[in-house]
A and B are shown apart, each in its own frame.
Chain A
Amino acid sequence: MDPLAELSAEVPHLQASFDPVSVFGGVTQYIFFMIICWIITLVVVLVVGKKLTLIPTNKFINTVEYGYQFVRNDMGEGIIGQGFKKHVPFLATLFFFILVSNFVGLIPGCKPPTGTISVTWALATISFVYFNYYGIKAHGGWGYIKSIAPSGLPVVMVPIIWFFELFSLILRWLTLAVRLYGNMFAGHMVLGIFALASSVFLMAGIENIDIVSGILTVPWFVLLIAMYALETLVAFLQAYVFTVLSSVYVSLATSSH
């Protein structure tokens, strides 16, 4: 059989493997891996928190501490500025959970919990509620509604600009969720297709003693490795972008315009 025809016949199976298949009861495979990620995040953070020493002795603990400092200094102090300390736990939780989720998805056979829209909707909702809550806390209810539009506008323009700003405020909710979902889902689909292609071409090369297919396996495999490297970068970058945007939204909501 022609390897290309076989590849296009196999792609629906690959797509079906991304469906939220039930593992047991109402728990789908994504939720199953989300629970695993919770446990990993909790264990890592609790163990490291217990064993924190002033002089670094353990490389692993030092790495996690560096990650926390990265969130605290780059995202907390750098973006929110004054009064950033009370937001650091929230940001660090988001960052570590999304980071662990994305990296668990890179292990072959595992699914990223962030590769389903329901989990990312939940994360985006948490972030949305959080920054609106702190905005209302900082400005008061009516003050927060007024502060959506930047001050210093001509009176006639205020309702129009206010409406557009409200639209972009609600759009933040959508984009936070869809950005993470789209990146993780599409990235894993690409990885799946390259892995499928290299295995299909290798099988065709062995079964039909077809040298061309056998040699074509090599570029597919090299591309797969390259995409893996790219996905590792994306997995970190998306966790970073989600957290940075959350902290930017918090700083926009709490700062006085």
Chain B
Amino acid sequence: MEITMVLAALKVVGYGLGAIGPGIGIGIACYGCCVGTARQPELQGRLFTNFILGAALAEALALIGFVLAFIM
């Protein structure tokens, strides 16, 4: 009982640690997209597409952590 509780808590802590990097990464990507759009509004479409793609790549790491927390 005790061991399973500790393991469950460790999984959540591991996922939390895994979410730090992607969080910062998506934040930086969003910042870049906002600044780029403010400077050149006519490029908004392409900037936003690149932002979504970069956010998806960064988010993949957090999602792998999410999956590992479930299946481990």
Contacts and interface: CB of A to CB of B under 8 A. Distances in A.
Nearest to A77: B45
A3 interface: no
A245 B59 CA distance: 13
A51 B64 CA distance: 45
Contacts of A175: 56, 59-60, 63
Interface residues of B, number: 12
A241 B52 contact: yes
A79 interface: yes
A244 B52 CA distance: 8
Contacts, number: 34
Contact of A248 (B49, B59, B67): B49
Given A168-B57, A175-B56, A245-B56, A79 B49 contact: yes
Interface in A78-120: 78-79
A205 interface: no
Contact of B49 (A172, A174, A182, A244): A244
B51 to A, nearest CB: 10
Interface residues of A, number: 15
B60 A78 contact: no
Interface string A155-177: 00000000000001001101100
A78 B49 contact: yes
A82 B4 CA distance: 55
Interface string B22-53: 00000000000000000000000100010011
Contacts of B64: 174
Nearest to A251: B49
Given A79-B45, A174-B63, A244-B49, 6 more contacts: A174-B64, A175-B56, A178-B63, A179-B59, A245-B52, A248-B53
Interface of B: 45, 49, 52-53, 56-57, 59-60, 63-64, 66-67
